[in-house]
With several copies, the nearest count.
Chain A
Amino acid sequence: MTARIGVVTFPGTLDDRDTQRAVRVAGAEAVPLWHRDKDLKQVDAVVLPGGFSYGDYLRAGAISRFSPVMESVIEQAKAGMPVLGICNGFQVLTETHLLPGAMLRNNHLHFICRDQKLRVETNSTAWTADYEAGQEISIPLKNIDGRYVADERTLDLLEAEGRVAFRYLDVNPNGSLRDIAGITNEAGNVVGLMPHPEHAVEPLVGTGRTDGLGFFTSILKNLVGAR
């Protein structure tokens, strides 16, 4: 039996079908989860995909955070279930305070879509085990509210605890503090990042790279290995 990975759809979620595809390409089973359902259908892990849930109105992720499905996700995440937030999903995770800091409008104020180089700073999370620490990957970035901010103390703490999971290389595309592209919680089960690994799993589409596949194979290995 392979791992069951839940993919949440909020109203306005865009990359849910793409994320399901990435989960399948990695060899796991994708389980659609609906924002109104508290039931997580016995999944082993959850991905909060990208998009503009609730139109990103008020603040990105601010309204979705209060959905029934998030009640369960928060509870399970605290109990150790792996949760990955991609882009809008990352924004939701900061709004729920499962991850510290907040996401703000890009410093240049524009939506930006580009092939972005990152460094995977740590492979001791549930979602990065298949990478080498320090490995450089390129995956698409596309957002308008991608500027990561937190107060100095939080940033220092994140660095000290090795919880900066991904850093932008070459260009900082949005003014994120300390070039932070993604972070993890202390336990390493909850990870959020702005760029989109699910858009870099097939050589044919998008940028033609498959650098993002490691997220999904990591979790698969992690879960199947743990059984």
Chain B
Amino acid sequence: MARVVVDVMLKPEILDPQGQAVQRALPRLGFQGISDVRQGKRFELEVDGPVDDAALARIHELAETFLANTVIEDFVVKVEEPAVEAK
């Protein structure tokens, strides 16, 4: 079993009020030096079989038709490394 991640972000030209709300709150929290924040979605898919090219192509199609609305969003499909990121 492997994990495939689909990151979906609003296109750069689309207003992202959630990201803005975070950014506006930063100074209040004492954070300086972050010039932009965008908020998007992350999907973690557990894939049963091997993640070969065919599987990736299918997931790409899934992202394009379903997980993202390409009128407003961009997406990236990644195979997650088995090693866990350090927190």
Contacts and interface: CB of A to CB of B under 8 A. Distances in A.
Direct contact of A and B (CB under 8 A): yes
Interface of A: 54-55, 57-59, 62-63, 66, 94-95, 100-102, 104-109, 147, 149-151, 175
Contact of B72 (A66, A109, A149): A149
Q: Which interface residue of A57, A63, A147 has the most chain B CB atoms within 10 A?
A: A57
Contacts of A57: 17-18, 21-22, 39
A208 to B, nearest CB: 32
Given A101-B71, A104-B72, A63 B14 contact: no
Contacts of B56: none
Mostly, the A contact residues are loop
Contacts of A63: 21-22, 25
Contacts of B15: 104, 107, 147, 149, 175
Interface in B1-39: 10, 13-15, 17-18, 21-22, 25, 28-29, 39
A108 B29 CA distance: 20
Question: Most chain-B CB neighbours within 10 Å: which of A58, A105, A175?
Answer: A58
B29 A66 contact: yes
A150 B76 CA distance: 22
Interface of B: 10, 13-15, 17-18, 21-22, 25, 28-29, 39, 66-67, 69, 71-72
A108 to B, nearest CB: 7
B28 to A, nearest CB: 6
9 contacts: A55-B17, A55-B18, A55-B21, A57-B18, A66-B66, A102-B69, A105-B17, A109-B18, A175-B17
B14 A54 contact: no
Contacts of A175: 15, 17
Given A107-B15, A109-B17, A102 B72 contact: yes
B37 to A, nearest CB: 10
A175 B14 CA distance: 12
Contacts of A147: 15
Contact of A66 (B10, B18, B25): B25
B17 A62 contact: no
B66 to A, nearest CB: 7
A106 B18 CA distance: 10
Contact of B21 (A54, A95, A104, A151): A54
A58 B29 contact: no
B31 to A, nearest CB: 11
A147 B15 CA distance: 10
Nearest to A61: B69
